[in-house]
Chain A
Amino acid sequence: MKNRLREMREERGLSQRELAERVGVTRQTINSVERGRYDPSLELGFELAGFFGCYAEDIFLYDGDEG
């Protein structure tokens, strides 16, 4: 699943560590999500959406072709 997390984080001038602390996960998790290596839970997805003040689908772009 693709996402705009890095772009949205950088727009707000936040480091991965700062964003991780705000949403209660580790920096490695934010890094893995940004690199597309880890698809977050719905809970974290909504947590991130709440933090950025947008809908989850504004951050995460579902690609139906992916397994």
Chain B
Amino acid sequence: MTETDGFIERYSGETYGRLLGAIYLSAAVVFLVGMGVDHARAGFIGFVGLFVIGLIADFALRRSSVTVYDERYDDLTKKASAAVFSLYGGGGFVVFVSLLAAEFAGVYEMGPIVELFFMAWSAFVLTWGVFYTYYKYI
């Protein structure tokens, strides 16, 4: 055990998990507040600074013997990812199929912004398909 490990191990993984969450949340809050009070650049610098501090702390913790992330964290991450995919993938399918049907029926014309969203959604779903195929066969 190194001296650094000894210092880090004074506190539990649970404490560090909360600390990391607070750092990342603070970064987001600083960014949004910066935009809200018309100091977007300062907010952005604060966001990057706090985010980098979080990443460094995260890196140090992953190299120590403290358990911050475990299989339950991975399970929750997978569930959240699946929920996001269902929401945007499924929701987008309903929206864009409806819009395309309306366009073919001549009652709606897709504007450039909507077309951009359609392309982004298609890329999102296609990327999911690529990774699904990768994990299925490789």
**Chain A residues near B (Cβ < 8 Å):** 17, 20-21, 24-29, 32, 38, 40-41, 43-44
Contact = CB atoms under 8 A, between A and B. Distances in A.
Interface in B7-56: 12-14, 17
B68 to A, nearest CB: 7
Nearest to A37: B72
A38 B12 contact: no
Interface SS, A side: helix
Contacts, number: 34
Interface in B61-82: 67-68, 70-73, 75
A26 B75 contact: no
Interface of B: 12-14, 17, 67-68, 70-73, 75
B72 to A, nearest CB: 4
A4 to B, nearest CB: 19
A25 B75 contact: no
Contacts of B72: 25-26, 28-29, 32, 38, 40
Contact of B14 (A27, A32, A44): A27
B67 A28 contact: no
B8 to A, nearest CB: 14
B75 A20 contact: no
B127 to A, nearest CB: 27
B71 A25 contact: yes
A17 B70 contact: no
A58 B68 CA distance: 28
B14 A29 contact: no
A28 B17 CA distance: 11
Contacts of A43: 71
Contacts of A28: 14, 72
